[in-house]
A and B are shown apart, each in its own frame.
Chain A
Amino acid sequence: MLNKIWPIFIIISYVYAIFNGNVEQINNSVFNSTSSAVELSITFLGTICLWNGIMKIAQNTSIIPKLTKKLKPIINFLFPEMKKNEKAKEEISMNIIANVLGLGNAATPLGLKAMKTMQEENPKKDTVSNSMAMFIVLNTASLQLIPTTVIAIRASLNSANPTQIILPVWGATIVAAIAGITATKIFIKKESKK
C-alpha cells in the first residue's frame, strides 16, 4: 500500500508547493517531520516497553484467561482462524479492552504483540491474513468508551457541556465498526471465491 500512496503524497504536495510558492513551508516541513518522528518514537519507547512489561506480568497470571473467556464469542466470530490460537486470542482481547478503556498508549503495544503472534500462523508472510485484516480494521475504528481527548479540547474551549458528545460518539463508533467488520467479512468472502 505505502509503496503506492507514499510517493503520490510526496510528489503531488511538492510539485504543488513549488508551483504555488510554498517552497519555504515544504522545506520546513521536511525537518519538522523528522524531529516529530523522533519525538514520537521516544515516547513510544517508554510506553511500549512499559506496557510490554506490565503485560508480561499479566500473562503469567490468571487474569487474562478470565477476560479472554468473557470476550470469546465476539473473538471467535471476528477471528474464526484463531479459534485454536489461545495466545493470539488473549492478546487480541487485551488490545480490545485497552482500546475500549481509552488506553491508546497501551492498546498500540498490545496490538503490535497480537500482530506478531498472528504472523506466526500466517502462510504468506508479506501479505495480511484474514484475521490480521479484521484486527487492523477494528483498530482503525476508535472503540473507546470515553473520548477523553475531544472532551478535553471541548472543555478548554469553554463548552457549556463538554461531555454532550459522548452518546453521539458511541453511536458513530458502533455504526463505523459494524460497517468496517461487514466490509471486511464481505471482502474476505469475495477473495476466497476467486
Chain B
Amino acid sequence: MNIINYISSAAIPVIILLIVIYGVMEKNKVFDNFVEGATEGIGIVLKIFPTLIGIFLAVGAIRSSGILDLIIKAISPITSFFGIPSEIMPLALVRPISGSASTAVATDIMTTFGVDSKIGLIASTIMGSTETTFYTIAIYTSCVGIKKIRFVLIAALIADFVGMAFSVILWRFLS
C-alpha cells in the first residue's frame, strides 16, 4: 500500500522533472515553450465550457428526479437474468454518465454492504475499470466541433458493459 501510494504521488512530479531536465539539456527556451503551450490551453477550456454546463444540467436532472430508481426497477428482469446483483445496478447505470455521482453511489454501496463484501468488491472493480463514457465523448467531440459520432457511443457502452459483466463474473469465482 505504501509503495503504491508513493508511486502514485511521485508520478506527476517525476514526469515534470524529467521533461524540464530534458528541455534544459537540449538547450531549449524552456519557459517560453511552457507559456506558449499554456496559452493554447485557454482556448480549449473556453471551447468545452458550454458543453460542460449542458452535460451537468442533464446529469443533475437525472440524479435528482428519482427516475433512476424507476429505470432500475424496469430493467431488473433483464439484469437478474444475466446474474447481475441488483445492488450493483445504480452504479452500473450512473457510471457512464457522471464521475462524481458514481463515486458517491459506489461509496454508498461499499458503506451499506461492506467494503470487503462481494458486492463491495464488485463495486470497487467497476469503479476502477471504467470511465465516465458520456462525459468523455462529449468533451472530446465538442473541442473540435464534431456533431456526428457514428457508432462511438455504442462501441464505448459495449466496452463498459463487458467490463462490468466481467467484474461480476470474476468475483463470483473469487469469493
**A residues adjacent to B (C-beta < 8 A):** 1-3, 5-6, 9-10, 12-14, 16-17, 20, 22, 25-26, 28-30, 32-34, 36-37, 40-41, 44-45, 48-63, 101-103, 106, 108-109, 111-113, 115-116, 118-119, 124-128, 132-133, 135-137, 139-142, 144, 146-151, 153-155, 157-166, 168-173, 175-177, 179-180, 183-184, 187, 191
Which among B4, B51, B143, B155 is the interface contact of A137 at CB below 8 angstroms? B155
The interface residues of chain A, by DSSP majority, are classed as helix
Query: Bound state CA distance, A162 and B116, in angstroms?
Result: 9
**Inter-subunit contact B64/A44 (CB<8 Å):** no
Q: 5 A-B residue contacts at CB 8 Å?
A: A17-B65, A48-B45, A133-B155, A137-B159, A153-B110
**Could you say which residues of chain B place their CB within 8 Å of the CB of A118?**
144
B136 is contacted by which of A56, A63, A106, A140 (Cβ under 8 Å)?
Answer: A140
| A6 touching B58, Cβ below 8 Å | yes
Residue from the list B60, B65, B146 in contact with A33, Cβ < 8 A = B60
Q: Indicate with 1 or 0, residue by residue over B27-44, a CB within 8 angstroms of chain A CB atoms.
A: 010100111111111101
Given A54-B37, A127-B150, A187-B150, A173:B129 Cβ within 8 A: yes
B16: A residues at CB distance < 8 A: 54
Q: Does B84 contact A (CB under 8 A)?
A: no
* CB neighbors of A among B1-51 (8 A): 1, 4, 7-8, 11-12, 15-16, 18-20, 22-23, 26, 28, 30, 33-42, 44-45, 48-49, 51
Beyond A139-B136, A172-B163, whether A149 also contacts B127 by CB under 8 A is yes
* Listed residue (B7, B111, B129) with the most chain A CB atoms within 10 angstroms of its CB: B129
Chain B: number of interface residues, binned into ranges: 35 or more
Contacts of A147 in B (CB 8 A): 127-129
Compute how far the CA of A39 lies from the CA of B80 in the bound complex, rounded to whole angstroms.
39
A180:B34 contact, CB within 8 angstroms:
no
B41 touches A109 (CB 8 A): yes
Q: Report if A57-B28 is in contact (Cβ < 8 Å); known contacts: A12-B67, A51-B41.
A: yes
Contacts of A162 in B (CB 8 A): 1
> When the two chains form their complex, are residues B53 and A3 in contact, meaning their CB atoms are under 8 A apart?
no
Provide the bound-state CA to CA distance between A52 and B45, in Å.
Answer: 11
Contact (Cβ within 8 A) B66 A150: no
Residue of A with least CB distance to B170: A168
Residues of B near A28 (CB, < 8 A) are 64
Contact between A57 and B58 (Cβ–Cβ < 8 Å)? no
Complex contact B152–A136 (CB within 8 A)? yes
Across the interface, A57 reaches (CB within 8 A) one of B30, B140, B143, namely: B30
A63-B18, A162-B1 given as contacts; is B170 within 8 A of A171 (CB)? yes
Among candidates A37, A52, A144, A151, residue contacting B53 with C-beta atoms closer than 8 Å: A37
